[in-house]
Every structure is written in structure tokens, then in C-alpha cells.
Amino acid sequence: MSKLSQFLSSLFIPGPAHAADLILQRASINSTTGAATANSAGTDVVLTSTYATSGAITPSGQLLATKVWGAVWNDYADFQELAGPLEYGRCYYESVEGARICERRCQMAVVGIASDTFGHAVGMGLHPGREVPIAVAGWVLAHVDREYDPGTPLTNDEQGRLTEMTLEEKRDYPERLVATYKRKERGETFGVGRQRVAVNGRHWVRVR
């Protein structure tokens, strides 16, 4: 038995006296949907009160620690209701029906960039099949109209890409600053091990 197996099989995190003990169970987590499936050979772990030998796992319980290390991946995402196509790296704006890809430059109600590089996420599951993870902090791969100097302020264009803000836009619509430029990603994929995403010519930007 590996050290990880010994750790997972022996670790119990006590909950309140009236609640069942919580355990960390080995699983496989779908990197797109977040769904967890019991898997004795999986490389992911799930905090749960009900041990499962197969099938879906519903994470439950609370985790409290003085320090929790994050992930290798880059940004923090917030899942929002989606009202149109999902295309990672494009800018979205908020409509009454949900998030849509931006269609006007420096668009009012722009909410951010659809991310497939997030290491942490919240809000998933409220609208199954109709959700978009919007990067709210960190560095994310985005479609940009061209390369810029690092630190260049960016807003959206008519195709949902990022583009440099004009002086007038920075003065009149500072709330529509979406990100600042970092650099173009030269690799064809990004990630570690088997968890990788296609870059598709995108650039790294810092969410603002």
C-alpha cells in the first residue's frame, strides 16, 4: 500500500458531535464539470461523510486549517449562469438571461473571462449544463487581438477578445477594465501531467 493510500484510508476529520465523521476519499474529478467519481486509483481526493466504492460522490462537510495550499493552476473562478455558447478565453457580459460573449467594444456589464485554467472555483451546480466559470482573480489564458507590453490595460472588443483601452475609455469607463497584459503563451497546451488544456493562440492576462 502506498503512503497516499495509507493516508487516505486512515485520515478522519471529526465533525460536530451530532454529525458523521468526515473522510478524505480517493476519487477522480472531472476538470470541466467538477463531478467526483469514486476511484481507488484516482489522483484526486474528496471530503465526504459517506464512503463510496463506486459511482458519483457528493462532497460534503467543512474543512478548517491554519494554512491550505492551493493548486498549480492559475486563477480563481466563479460559475455564472450561461445564456449562449461557451468559449474559454472570451470576455462575457451579464444579461437578464445570463452571461453572453461580448459583442460591443468596452461593453457595459462586462463580467470577465471564461476560464479553463482555474485552480479554485465557487458557485458550480446552480445551473447544470448552463454555466460558465468566470475568472475573478489571478492569471488566465485569454484571446487577445495582439501582443502588448506587460501591464497594458485591456478591455473587450466586438468579438469578445481583449484589446488595449484608450485614454478616453480608462477615464470614462474605469469599471470596464477587464485585465492587464502579461505575455503570449508559446506552448500548444498548458497544465501538468494528463490535466492539460489547448492554448489555441491565447495570451496570459491578469484579471482586474
63 falls within a domain: no
Contact indicator for 89, 118 with CB cutoff of 8 Å:
no
38-94 confidence digits (pLDDT tens):
877 777 777 777 777 777 777 666 767 787 776 667 789 999 999 999 999 999 999
> Long-range contacts: 126-132, Cβ < 8 Å, 24+?
126/79, 126/81, 127/79, 127/81, 127/82, 127/98, 130/81, 130/82, 130/83, 130/98, 131/79, 131/80, 131/81, 131/82, 132/79, 132/80, 132/81, 132/82, 132/86, 132/92, 132/99
Say if residue 51 is in the same domain as residue 152.
no
Say if residue 113 is in the same domain as residue 24.
no
138-196 confidence digits (pLDDT tens):
999 999 999 999 999 999 999 999 999 999 999 999 999 999 999 999 999 998 877 88
Contact indicator for 142, 89 with CB cutoff of 8 Å:
yes
Say if residue 170 is in the same domain as residue 123.
yes
Q: Can you give the pLDDT at residue 83?
A: 96
Longest CA–CA span in the chain (Å) reads: 63
Say if residue 96 is in the same domain as residue 155.
yes
| Domain with 141 in it | 75-207
Say if residue 92 is in the same domain as residue 153.
yes
Q: Can you give the pLDDT at residue 92?
A: 98
Say if residue 17 is in the same domain as residue 115.
no
Domains held by the chain: number: 2
Say if residue 81 is in the same domain as residue 21.
no
Confidence of residue 8 (pLDDT cuts 50, 70, 90): very low
